[in-house]
Amino acid sequence: MSIPPSSCQCPNDDMPQFLISKRAIEQGRNMHIFSSRPMVESFKQARLVGGLNLSRVRHLTAAMFYRWLDLCHARLEDRELHARVVLRPVQIGTSSFNVMSCYLRKVEGAPIPRDSLALLQPGVYGVFLLDETPYEGDVLSPRRFYEPFAEQAKSLQTIFPEYGTNNTPTRLSDLVKARDQGRCSITGQTGHPTQIVWIYPPLASFVVDRLDDAIFDKFRLVDNLITICSSLAEPFQRNAFSVDMEDGGRIIKFVDLPDESPVLPLYLPAPRPSAVRFWDLNFKYTLAVFLPAGDPATTGDYDDYVAWMEELSQSQANLRNPKWQTALGRQVLEAYMMRELAGVYQ
């Protein structure tokens, strides 16, 4: 059973008729989540606060998604959601005066129950309260998200070199080698080149506990280390996949893996109970890498739109230029035509 897809307002399956950040495009998102903000009576601004690529994150039920949403919001904002919320399929419109500004045009479907086991489908969704009114509080973030582990560590070492690195102490590596005997903790396989990596890198704690550099030592433990196939080490450190321990140790893939990587099993083989808390931290962090943000207004991704609008208004635009076939070009053209109809340039 699956939830019917909402109207994506797309000329094709992967091109929404509203602008999304280039990061969201790179992730291949086909599920987009908007929250509402009241602007004037009967007009609600819509902000793109999250989304996922459901072609990669497969078999995601509504109940699973709501649990992920709650986990991610709590991690990102350091507090729980103010209210229990639900998704509803919606249509989103783009302002003719600012192509970066969206509004809630139409509600297209009933609320998706929080306990539903139906699979979520690609589409456009709004965040609502249980009484079916738009939720106007904070949920996720239109601009905030986490960098993958590898990038976060590199940035932190550049800015605060005194915090050290995520290098593994030799004494801990020796203990892991003796414990795992070369068996990959992800695939359960032996006989392949392996590396030892952190489940939750110590420096990752900086995003929450940045005032306490001593916290790093609390994560430099043997239970926080695993042996992993070498071909999986780099994808793991950029959060390409993680493990949802609340779903029985299910392995969730967020990014396609290199061709040479082994096939991931559905579930983590023989997880150690002493490592569960580190896997939980890894999963919450990974959700904050992929689920939040997407609104282009604060990214600078489309700063050319003002100049392009000027070209049209001054009759200087060459409409044969391929730029007018891009997402931004189509939005600017549509906004310009709406302005013309409204007599803005007359």
In a domain, 283, yes or no: yes
CA distances from 258 to 151, 196, 231, 265 (A): 19, 19, 8, 16
In a domain, 93, yes or no: yes
Per-residue pLDDT tens digits for 266-292: 999 988 999 999 999 999 999 999 999
Neighbouring residues of 163: CB distance < 8 A, sequence distance ≥ 6: 156, 157, 203, 206, 213, 216
Same domain, 124 and 214: no
In a domain, 230, yes or no: yes
In a domain, 78, yes or no: yes
* 131 φ/ψ angles, rounded to the nearest 5 degrees: -85, 10
Rounded CA separation 224/176 (Å): 10
Which parts of the chain sit beneath pLDDT 50? 6-14, 40, 211, 345-346
Region label for 227, one of left (φ > 0), alpha (ψ between -120 and 50) or beta (otherwise): beta
In a domain, 56, yes or no: yes
In a domain, 231, yes or no: yes
Look over the chain and give the mean of its residue pLDDT values, rounded to a whole number. 86
| Per-residue pLDDT at 325 | 81
Same domain, 184 and 106: no
**C-alpha closest to that of 64 among 133, 15, 116:** 116
Same domain, 213 and 285: yes
| Per-residue pLDDT at 3 | 62
Q: Judge whether 299 and 305 are in contact, CB under 8 Å.
A: no
Give me the residues paired with residue 46 across strands: 36, 102
CA distances from 78 to 8, 209, 212, 269, 302 (A): 32, 11, 16, 31, 30
Count of domains for the chain: 3
Same domain, 132 and 211: no
| Per-residue pLDDT at 201 | 94
* 92 φ/ψ angles, rounded to the nearest 5 degrees: -115, 135
Same domain, 137 and 172: no
| Per-residue pLDDT at 31 | 96
Rounded CA separation 231/346 (Å): 61
Same domain, 138 and 165: no
Same domain, 168 and 131: no
Same domain, 44 and 124: yes
In a domain, 1, yes or no: no
Same domain, 85 and 184: no
Same domain, 160 and 77: no
In a domain, 246, yes or no: yes
| Per-residue pLDDT at 213 | 57
Same domain, 138 and 162: no
Same domain, 171 and 117: no
Structural domain range at position 78: 22-145+292-298
